[in-house]
């Protein structure tokens, strides 16, 4: 299985190609570029918070702009395009079709990302990724805020186009001999997340337009001075972005479903429960959005409903964890770099989920809401689970894409440093939250516990920074000068590669 043409080609041939692997490569390079840009901003934030007082960032406004662009970049310009990269490479192959269903649409969806990335970065807005009104209407300086709104608007269209393409490719273009119950779990994850996008995104698209007209002063949907209600925005935003959490995490879990059975050299424990958990997660994901809003003055009944909706998502996530562990159980596990990332990702996924249960319980949420606990909690998802699954998968597909092998030792060092760093940063941030440190603050009072915890977190962030430098060096060097990979079995697993529907493999 080789995913890229090995023949060197001029770059414009790749850029203007509509072939799924070429578009996949464009998505891949773009998303990794934004990973490093967004990561650099994270290091700036952590360096600033190392001690109370201004350290390396001159003023609060710059700091607010930095964390806004950090969040926006890593969610919309790293995680989502990275998943699209993997989907572009693998989904057509998994459903045995020559390309994506609509190749030109596919290229258009990709080419919407660079301009929106440019809008977000050139604007450098300051109203957080949540763009909460009335601040975003009456206080946030333009044109940064307007550029952010347009950037997100374009990204939303790009996501919807990509989602339509995945749904049609999987449901309509799969090989006639293949039933939907034989489609590998990675493709199932793209089907689930694409369907969530199609249902969820239009709500935020509408909210963004309303936000823009409110900013222009021609409407007052969310502006209390004109009779509007900021809480309406919160509902519209979270109705899109709580399901969006599952859009981000489901493809990463799908990637783990590819890695874990291969490197455990065992078929997946239960394909059916994997599919069931994906579908269940994409449905119950819509019943929990207002758990982000307990403190906005919701009634006891509303809070109870959304707490139940949130807790209902836990069994589905737990089924994935069970499936992974049961697959590894008694397997002949080979801890190559991709497997280490996947297993580390599962451990952090479990920790993140456990912290999430605390958030969802109403009285406890009033301790953790809008503190660093929440920052630690969702970073365990986006970094610990999604980025770990994604980076593991990048190592896994590296030999197929480049025809060369990455440096295994550097890959393992990258994992160990990143894992240690992630635990140092984000577990510590949970503790900081319990001490009461609010999120999104440029400076903090010199409370000894806060200083100690912030320093541990900042050191952890620098450890992640070092690991990512090793990663970058490994990728650049190995893609040009690495050992040629045996593309039939680059990881030396022996035997035939498992696909879930090929579990009848006689050699085990």
Partner 1 sequence: MGGHSNWPEWIYVGIVIALMTWVGAEAWEAERLVEHVPEDVEIIKVTGQQWFWTFEHEDGTKEIGELHVEAGKAYKFEVMAKDVNHSFNIHDYVVLIDAIPGRVNTVWFAPDAPGVHDIQCREYCGLIHYNMRGTLYVEEPSS
Binding site for partner 1 (CB under 8 A): 60-61, 64, 126-128, 130, 132-135, 138-140, 224-225, 229-231, 267-271, 273, 295-297, 300, 303-304, 307-308, 311-312, 314-315, 318-319, 322-323, 326, 357, 360-364, 366-367, 369-371, 435-436, 438-445, 500, 503
Indicate the residue among 40 and 231 with the shorter CB distance to partner 1. Answer: 231
Indicate the residue among 334 and 440 with the shorter CB distance to partner 1. Answer: 440
Indicate the residue among 421 and 500 with the shorter CB distance to partner 1. Answer: 500
Residues 6+ apart with CB under 8 A from 416: 467
Distances (CA, A) of 373 to 321, 363, 434, 439, 442: 23, 15, 7, 9, 17
Indicate the residue among 29 and 318 with the shorter CB distance to partner 1. Answer: 318
CB 156, min distance to partner 1, A: 22
Alpha carbon distance 108, 89 (integer Å): 16
Contact 121, 144 (CB under 8 A): no
Backbone φ and ψ for 274, nearest 5 degrees, come out as -60, -50
Side-chain-side CA neighbours of residue 375 (13 Å): 28
CB 236, min distance to partner 1, A: 15
Contact 298, 290 (CB under 8 A): yes
CB 36, min distance to partner 1, A: 26
Closest of 214, 240, 257 to residue 396, by C-alpha: 257
Distances (CA, A) of 304 to 213, 281, 353, 373: 34, 20, 19, 21
DSSP state of 387: I
Locate the DSSP E strands across 11-138.
Answer: none
Indicate the residue among 198 and 441 with the shorter CB distance to partner 1. Answer: 441
Dihedral angle at the C-alpha atoms of 395, 400, 403, 404, nearest 10 degrees?
20
Indicate the residue among 38 and 500 with the shorter CB distance to partner 1. Answer: 500
CB 363, min distance to partner 1, A: 4
- Residue 182: how many other CB atoms lie within 10 Å: 17
Indicate the residue among 121 and 444 with the shorter CB distance to partner 1. Answer: 444
CB 237, min distance to partner 1, A: 13
Indicate the residue among 3 and 284 with the shorter CB distance to partner 1. Answer: 284
Indicate the residue among 296 and 409 with the shorter CB distance to partner 1. Answer: 296
CB 15, min distance to partner 1, A: 39
Contact 340, 412 (CB under 8 A): yes
Indicate the residue among 145 and 391 with the shorter CB distance to partner 1. Answer: 145
Q: SS in 3 state form for 145-157?
A: HHHHHHHHHHHHH
Alpha carbon distance 463, 171 (integer Å): 43
End-to-end Cα spacing for the chain: 22
Alpha carbon distance 213, 215 (integer Å): 5
Contact 148, 154 (CB under 8 A): no
Alpha carbon distance 477, 448 (integer Å): 44
CA angle 314, 320, 321 (to 5 degrees): 85
């Amino acid at each position: 299985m080789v995913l890229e043409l090995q023949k060197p080609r001029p770059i414009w041939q790749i850029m203007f190609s509509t072939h799924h692997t070429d578009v996949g490569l464009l998505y891949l390079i773009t998303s990794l570029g934004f990973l490093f840009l967004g990561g650099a901003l994270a290091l700036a934030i952590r360096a600033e918070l190392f001690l109370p007082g201004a350290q390396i960032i001159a003023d609060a406004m710059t700091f607010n702009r930095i964390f806004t662009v950090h969040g926006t970049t890593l969610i919309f310009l790293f995680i989502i395009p990275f998943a699209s990269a993997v989907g572009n490479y693998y989904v057509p192959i998994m459903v045995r079709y020559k390309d994506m269903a609509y190749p030109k649409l596919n290229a258009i969806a990709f080419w919407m990302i660079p301009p929106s990335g440019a809008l977000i970065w050139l604007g450098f807005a300051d109203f957080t990724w949540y763009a909460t009104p009335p601040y975003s209407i009456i206080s946030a300086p333009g044109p940064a805020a307007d550029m952010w709104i347009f950037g997100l608007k374009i990204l939303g269209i790009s996501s919807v186009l990509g989602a339509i393409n995945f749904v049609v490719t999987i449901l309509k273009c799969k090989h006639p001999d293949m039933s939907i119950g034989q489609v590998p779990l990675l493709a199932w994850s793209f089907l689930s997340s694409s369907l969530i996008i199609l249902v969820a995104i239009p709500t935020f698209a509408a909210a963004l337009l309303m936000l823009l007209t409110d900013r222009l002063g021609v409407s007052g949907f969310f502006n209390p001075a004109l009779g509007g209600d900021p809480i309406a925005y919160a509902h519209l935003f979270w109705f899109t972005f709580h399901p969006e959490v599952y859009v981000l995490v489901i493809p990463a879990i799908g990637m783990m479903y590819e890695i874990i059975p291969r490197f455990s050299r065992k078929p997946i424990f239960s394909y059916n429960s994997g599919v069931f958990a994906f579908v269940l997660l994409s449905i119950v994901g819509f019943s929990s959005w207002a758990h982000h809003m307990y403190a906005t003055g919701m009634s006891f009944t509303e809070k109870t409903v959304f707490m139940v909706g949130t807790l209902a998502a836990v069994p589905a996530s737990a089924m994935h964890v069970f499936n992974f562990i049961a697959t590894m159980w008694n397997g002949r596990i080979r801890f190559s770099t991709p497997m280490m990332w996947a297993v580390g990702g599962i451990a952090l996924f479990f920790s993140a989920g456990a912290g999430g249960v605390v958030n969802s319980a109403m009285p406890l949420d009033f301790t953790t809401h809008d503190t660093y606990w929440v920052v630690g909690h969702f970073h365990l998802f986006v970094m610990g689970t999604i980025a770990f699954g994604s980076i593991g998968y990048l190592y896994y597909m590296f030999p197929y894409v480049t025809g060369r092998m990455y440096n295994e030792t550097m890959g393992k060092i990258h994992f160990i440093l990143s894992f240690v760093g992630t635990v140092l940063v984000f577990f510590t941030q949970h503790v900081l939250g319990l001490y009461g440190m609010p999120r999104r603050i440029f400076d903090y009072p010199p409370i000894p516990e806060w200083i100690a915890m912030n320093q541990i977190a900042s050191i952890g962030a620098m450890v992640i920074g070092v690991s990512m430098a090793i990663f970058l060096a490994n990728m650049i060097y190995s893609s040009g000068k690495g050992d040629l990979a045996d593309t039939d079995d680059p990881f030396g697993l022996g035997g035939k590669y498992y696909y879930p529907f090929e579990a009848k493999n006689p050699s085990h």
